Amino acid sequence: MAKKKKRLRTDRLILVIIGLVVVIGLVIGGIFLLKDHKKRNTDTALDASNNQETETKTGIEALYYYEPENQARYEAYQALHPELAEEDVVWMVNVHLDEEPYTNLQVIPESEENNEVLLVNKHYCYRDEFEPAELVETQNGKLVTPNTKTAYEKMVADAKAEGITGISAASTYRSIDYQVGLYNRYVERDGAEAADTYSSRPASSEHHTGRTIDLMGPDGTLESFESTKACTWVHANAYKYGFIIRYEQGYEDITGYQYEPWHITYVGVEASTTMHDEGIHTLEEYYAKYVQHQPTQS
Ligand SMILES: [Zn+2]
């Protein structure tokens, strides 16, 4: 009997010990779980603050062509054009598209007048005395720069080899003096506002560069070029020779000109290929993203 009682007491003791061990285990486990939970909460909080940091960096300030001094103009232009993406607002302001045409003309420095890529428009112009460094005649006697001539004649020859004839230069280089007379005649006829949509003011014409060619159609007019096979071919292939269609359809607000399917400009193969590959349709955008600033190599 006494033996039985003793065994019973031992059993109870063992049960108590097991019970204690279980309770201690639960308590310790609980503490760990709590700690882990807390840690996870802190991690999430850290993640959130990291994200916030990344967010500020992916704003317009993170764009490689962002210019801090233009911040107020970016905001003003964005407010005026809520439909524009903010990354577009930045490059547009950088090339002065937020300013009224011809109001704050940037004169191309003499040292840059013969650069491969030249932006000449209603915001960028030449000094009045500008002349291209060298002009040569194309086969039909039109004046262009030597590089333009080489590229143009190769393009015409390659087109011909593919059965495309009828690529023919009408207007190429024009002196600033000549443009003075031309523009004034247009203004007299149609008024300045209308004339500005299709003609450049002197020193702001791309034709001064000697790198621009207006192609004509079979009846000798520029307008008839658009409906030709030559036009289709040129629009698809010109970039391979360093030419761009300078005033594309749908980009009038950027170029400042109506669609001119006949007006091609030599910018060099590097620029024309980049524009083609990156889907850049205006020289304004290319100039802002590849000349004013260069993309960082990744
Ligand atoms: Zn033209």
Q: Are residues 107 and 211 in the same domain?
A: yes
* Exposed/middle/buried for residue 260 (C-beta within 10 Å: 0-12, 13-18, 19+): buried
Determine, yes or no, domain membership for 284: yes
Beta strands in the chain (DSSP E): 106-107, 124-125, 136-137, 143-144, 212-214, 243-247, 260-266
Determine, yes or no, domain membership for 262: yes
Distance 17 CA to ligand 1 centre (A): 99
Query: Does 192 score more than 60 pLDDT?
Result: yes
Hunting for tokens 């003096």 — which residue is that? Answer: 177
Determine, yes or no, domain membership for 71: no
Q: Are residues 50 and 101 in the same domain?
A: no
Distance 65 CA to ligand 1 centre (A): 30
Q: What is the span of the domain harbouring residue 7?
A: 1-56
Query: Does 15 score more than 70 pLDDT?
Result: no
Dist. CA 241–CA 268, nearest whole Å = 7
Q: What is the pTM (predicted TM-score) of this model?
A: 0.79
What's the CATH code of the domain at 202? 3.30.1380.10
Determine, yes or no, domain membership for 73: no
Distance 206 CA to ligand 1 centre (A): 7
Distance 149 CA to ligand 1 centre (A): 16
Number of domains observed in the structure of the chain: 2
Distance 212 CA to ligand 1 centre (A): 7
Confidence class of residue 11 from pLDDT cuts 50, 70 and 90?
Answer: confident
Q: Are residues 204 and 156 in the same domain?
A: yes
Dist. CA 101–CA 262, nearest whole Å = 23
* Ligand 1 ion local residues (Cβ < 5 A): 214, 263
Confidence class of residue 12 from pLDDT cuts 50, 70 and 90?
Answer: confident
Determine, yes or no, domain membership for 267: yes
Query: Does 224 score more than 90 pLDDT?
Result: yes
Q: Are residues 131 and 268 in the same domain?
A: yes
Distance 161 CA to ligand 1 centre (A): 26
Distance 39 CA to ligand 1 centre (A): 67
Determine, yes or no, domain membership for 83: no
Hunting for tokens 């993406």 — which residue is that? Answer: 85
pLDDT in tens, 70-119: 999 999 999 999 999 999 999 999 999 999 999 999 999 999 999 999 99
* Exposed/middle/buried for residue 47 (C-beta within 10 Å: 0-12, 13-18, 19+): exposed
Dist. CA 185–CA 182, nearest whole Å = 5
Distance 170 CA to ligand 1 centre (A): 9
Q: Write down the pLDDT at residue 294.
A: 96
Give the pair of three-digit tokens for residue 222. 């520029």
pLDDT in tens, 23-64: 555 555 555 555 555 444 444 444 444 444 444 456 899 999
* Exposed/middle/buried for residue 141 (C-beta within 10 Å: 0-12, 13-18, 19+): exposed
